[in-house]
Structure 1
Amino acid sequence: MESILAKISVMLVPALLAVTLHEVAHGYTAERLGDPTARLLGRLTLNPLKHLDPIGTIALLFFGFGWARPVPVNFANLRRPRLHMVWVALAGPLTNLGLAVISALLLRVLAQIPDGVLQDGGMASRMFEPVKLMAGFSLYINIILAVFNLVPIPPLDGGRVMTGILPPRQAAMLARLEPFGFMIVILLIFFTDLWRIVLSPAISLMVGILAGPQTYLVDRAIQFLLAR
């Protein structure tokens, strides 16, 4: 039980921030571009309970990919619906990328603290080691969310982007997949090599680029969370 609580304490804040700010970014961008729907429905809030999808959150924590309750956007209200739909869709993954960059910078700062300070069993050790694990997990989970959401199948953000930039006929054909989008993505992940050949290498590459010499701290966080 103590081990489970320790893992939850490491995962909870980074996961909630990643999911909540992703959705708020969609709603805020939509409002700036002409659609106040998210604000009117109370979704422009940092209260994570307004954004969490129970199944999507469990999937994110246990399987490495997941989703939140999408912020409602009325694309007809946008001043330039097709173009602005692209920016609204990109706002979420770009926010996760920004959080990943902040996490990577924090890891680099923490890595400068001498190991002896963190291994003496004192207050510094008890304080900084969990922060390292949280920063490593934050980098990892935000990269996962950015990459996963850019899969070009609606209603994922990548699908919205493709719908906005494809010619109208092809965009309409892609949009018709939206009711089945999540099922299609789940089937692709579990029954094809999409994760192994495309998504996992992309995630590893971006983590390596951002974390640099501190990639081992991300690995340490993952190993801590996977340990029994």
Structure 2
Amino acid sequence: MLDPQKVLDYGAKLIVIFMCIPIHEYAHAWAATKLGDETPRYQGRLTLNPLAHLDPVGALLIFFVGFGWGKPVQVNPIRFKQYRKGMALTAAAGPISNLIMAFIGIILYKVFYVVSIVHMSEAMWYVSLIFYYFTAINVGLAVFNLIPIPPLDGEKIISYFTSNKVDRFMAQYQNYIAIGFMILVVTGVLDRPIGWLQSGMFWVMDKLTFWVDPILNAIF
């Protein structure tokens, strides 16, 4: 018999591969197109089809290792009316999409959790747990991608506020910075600070959906 925890774990990874990452990458493509760059449309990235956004190696690593990536959306910065603003907004669209999904996820988690308690339904409890995982995953993706280290979205967002000198430094040493960052991630050095940020963001999501609890109490 399958271990329910393992089923949830593999299910969460499939959610990341076939929903969270594709929507994240689609958000980049959508933002770039709205800001004047048609490159994502020409490359077939302006779609919610997961297959258009999956990197085979990244997807396999997510499933078997728990850490991976999607296929990056390519943009042509010269198409933007304002280079820095265009790059920052396009980069921000990905994490914002994850936060929107997390916001929806925590609402559904609260709804199904209360339903499972009221009706003493184990099935509804598992559904609520799925939405809890869904929320946590999207919060984690948003927080991780907002770290201002190349090639993450946070580096492109913060470049809107930095000088050309900083940009040149990041461009010159981005490979070394990225490798160093990946070593810190793989070795677990950043687990605690990233965990604090994720917990803080989850707390914010919980507080932003404070209105769900009284509504559910009134209904049930």
TM-score (norm 2): 0.82
**Equivalent residue, structure 2, for 1:165:** 161
Aligned to 2:205: 210
Partner residue in 2 for 1:217: none
Q: 2: CA distance between counterparts of 1:211 and 1:163?
A: 30
Q: Look up the match of 1:25.
A: 27
Identity, % of aligned pairs?
33
Give the deviation of 1:58 after TM superposition: 4.4
Check the 8 A contact 2:33/2:40 in 1, yes or no: yes
TM-score by length of 1: 0.79
1:113–1:148 CA distance, 2 compared to 1 (3 A): same
**What is the RMSD of the two structures over their aligned residues, measured on CA atoms?**
2.5
Report how many aligned residue pairs link the two structures: 206
Aligned 1:166-205 pairs, distance under 5 A: 166-180=162-176, 182-191=178-187, 193-196=189-192, 198-205=193-200
Partner of 2:2: 2
Kindly provide the amino acid, as one letter, of the partner of residue 149 in structure 1: N
Contact 2:109 2:129 in 1 (8 A): no
Query: How far 1:64 sits from its partner (Å)?
Result: 5.5
Matches within 5 A, 1:141-156: 141-156=137-152
Residues in 1 aligned to 2:200 and 2:62: alpha-carbon distance in whole angstroms? 20
By relative contact order (CA 8 Å, sep 6+), the higher-ranking structure is 1
Tell me which residue corresponds to 2:106. Answer: 104
> Does the C-alpha gap of structure 1 residues 59 and 151 become closer, same or farther in structure 2, counting only changes over 3 Å?
farther
Q: How far apart, in 2, do the equivalents of 1:14 and 1:191 lie?
A: 22
Shift, 1:211, TM fit: 3.6
Dislocated runs of 4+, deviation >6 Å: none
Pair 150,60 (structure 1): closer, same or farther in 2 beyond 3 Å: farther
Distance 2:37 2:90 in 1: 10
Q: Which residue of 2 aligns with 1:72?
A: 74
1:138 to 134, 141, 145: 134
Tell me if the contact between 1:43 and 1:50 (Cα under 8 Å) persists in the aligned partners: yes
What SS does the corresponding residue of 1:164 show, helix, strand or coil? coil
SS at match of 2:115: coil
Q: Equivalent residue for 1:54?
A: 56
Indicate if the aligned counterparts of 1:107 and 1:211 stay in contact, CA closer than 8 A.
Answer: no
Contact 1:65–1:148 (8 Å) recurs in 2: no
3-state SS of 1:112 partner: helix
Aligned counterparts of 1:23 and 1:58: Cα–Cα separation in 2? 17
Query: CA 1:209 to 1:63, structure 2 compared with 1: closer, same or farther past 3 Å?
Result: farther
